[in-house]
Structure 1
Amino acid sequence: MLVVISPAKRLDWEMRDVEMTAPAFQDDALRLVKTARNLPLGKLKGLMDLSDDLARLNRDRFAAFEDAPEPGLTRPAALAFAGDTYQGLEAASLDKEELAWAQDHLRILSGLYGLLRPLDAIQPYRLEMGSRLKTRRGASLYDYWRDDLAKALNRQAEDLGTDLLVNCASQEYFAAVSPKALKLKVITPQFMEEKGDGKGPKIVSFFAKKARGAMARFIVQNRITDGCGVLEFDLGGYRFDPSRSTRERPVFLRPYPAA
């Protein structure tokens, strides 16, 4: 199976002693950087709803982005992203064999790089998939990527001999994967918290993001290749709840964590 997750806005730029690989859509990333580089600071700020300081930081990142960066300027994607999902994934604690399996089976959807493997070399950036960055292909990044990401996932799944995709990405990012072009069966796990207040279980964004990363880690560490194996997920106190689940949307439930 393949597993997809979202990237993160926050980065961890610590040096890592791993051999990096080249992103499949590196040329597209360079085209998008050139487009973003030409935006005035105010336009860039509004595009991603940034503060003045973050707008300047990202303007400087686009300005410094290199066509052929030296290794010291890049980091492996799964180890560079540091948001909630990556707290659950904990990629830095995976051993060499687990990272190698993840390199084949785990993918990160990216507004800039399209589709990344865990060890693909990235430069520092921030460009959310939902950004309305105008290019020759249209008014947004969804227009830019069109069917490319779905077709790439189809090819990579075929190489693995699988027709199954576990979607642990956010709605914003998975919306870039064209459902018409995607030929894979999709399982989208849902993670819910039960407060015991009589209102029923709810999805809590922070916990759900972390759980999606933990699910990706669980699949990697256990070398899971079928849908039944996904249902055995039990990290963080979650348990599969068949009464609330469908085949395409298995629900995992736990008591709301104590403060």
Structure 2
Amino acid sequence: MLSILSPSKTLDFDSPVSVTGTTKIPFPDDSQQLASQLAEATPNALRDLMGISDSLAELNHQRFQDWEIPTARNGGRPAACAFQGDVYRGLKTDQWTPKQWDYAQDHLRILSGLYGVLRPKDLMLPYRLEMGTSLKTERGKDLYAFWGDKVRDRLIKSMETTGAKFLLNLASQEYLKAIGPKTFPFPIITPVFKENKDGKYKMITVFAKVARGTMASWAIRKKAKTPKKLQTFDADGYRYDAASSKESQPVFLRG
């Protein structure tokens, strides 16, 4: 089973990490092309394109000005350690053993507007570029057109290499769209996480995001390979609910 995650807007490039065997981004030329185009945009243009504040626009303007292929020497950080949003609070990479890092390298992918797709140990530099951004390039009207089938094909290749039979989708719809889910050649499993609120079970976004990271980490520790194995997921108080589940959409309840 190969798991996919969305990136997060919040980044951590300060806390210490001790990951060995870091790797290079898969599409350096494409990432360089995007960074170079964005480096030509003014801070105001970035603000309007991304819908961000003036201060964030200034920050990312400088990031694109300075961008180069990430390495350990220029501040590159393993992707699974660089993101710090709700999903990554659940992922808890600081608790992974070296063997779990190696397993994650083969069985976990982070989708990205700038990098396309990242393995956990791939070195990256800080950036802000969501996959849904309507950035017009020579390849089309937005980043979906820019990446075309590259992200999809890379995931397929990873699954064929490891023998994975299912894609565990723990990403948002914005990022799932980048792989063409309707025609993806492997079954896609999209878990749903719900909380008991006033006697009714509802999906609460912040808790669901953390749960996605928790399940991704659990799948790595357990080396989960099938939807049936996912039914045993019980981390953080969740339990599988057979009555409301489908094979492609297992439901997990808490409370």
Q: Secondary structure at the match of 2:202?
A: coil
1:17 aligns with 18
2:169 aligns with 167
Q: CA deviation at 1:208?
A: 0.4
* 1:1-259 alignment runs, 5 A limit: 1-13=1-13, 14-18=15-19, 19-67=21-69, 69-179=71-181, 181-197=183-199, 200-255=200-255
What is the percentage of aligned positions where both structures have the same residue?
A: 43
Q: Residues 134-156 of structure 1, C-alpha deviation per residue, up to 9 Å, x if partnerless?
A: 11111111111122111111111
> Match of 1:17, as an amino acid?
S
Asked if 2 retains the 8 angstrom alpha-carbon contact of 1:25 and 1:114, the reply is yes
> Match of 1:221, as an amino acid?
R
Q: From the superposition, tell whether residues 20 and 149 of structure 1 become closer, same or farther in structure 2 (CA, over 3 Å).
A: same
> Match of 1:225, as an amino acid?
K
TM-score (ref. length: structure 1): 0.94
**Structure 1 gap ranges (5+):** none
Q: CA deviation at 1:70?
A: 4.9
TM-score (ref. length: structure 2): 0.96
Asked if 2 retains the 8 angstrom alpha-carbon contact of 1:111 and 1:129, the reply is yes
Count of aligned residue pairs for this structure pair: 253
Which stretch of the first structure deviates more once superposed, 34-43 or 239-248? Answer: 34-43
> Match of 1:193, as an amino acid?
E
Separation (CA, whole Å) in 2 of partners of 1:240 and 1:80 = 31
> Match of 1:167, as an amino acid?
N
Q: CA deviation at 1:15?
A: 3.8
Q: From the superposition, tell whether residues 233 and 144 of structure 1 become closer, same or farther in structure 2 (CA, over 3 Å).
A: same
Which stretch of the first structure deviates more once superposed, 175-184 or 207-216? Answer: 175-184
Q: From the superposition, tell whether residues 70 and 160 of structure 1 become closer, same or farther in structure 2 (CA, over 3 Å).
A: closer
Asked if 2 retains the 8 angstrom alpha-carbon contact of 1:188 and 1:249, the reply is yes
Q: From the superposition, tell whether residues 183 and 24 of structure 1 become closer, same or farther in structure 2 (CA, over 3 Å).
A: same
Asked if 2 retains the 8 angstrom alpha-carbon contact of 1:41 and 1:59, the reply is yes
Asked if 1 retains the 8 angstrom alpha-carbon contact of 2:70 and 2:76, the reply is no
Asked if 1 retains the 8 angstrom alpha-carbon contact of 2:108 and 2:120, the reply is yes
Q: CA deviation at 1:39?
A: 1.2
Asked if 2 retains the 8 angstrom alpha-carbon contact of 1:147 and 1:181, the reply is no
Q: Secondary structure at the match of 1:109?
A: strand
Quote the RMSD (CA, aligned, Å).
Answer: 1.3
Q: CA deviation at 1:119?
A: 0.3
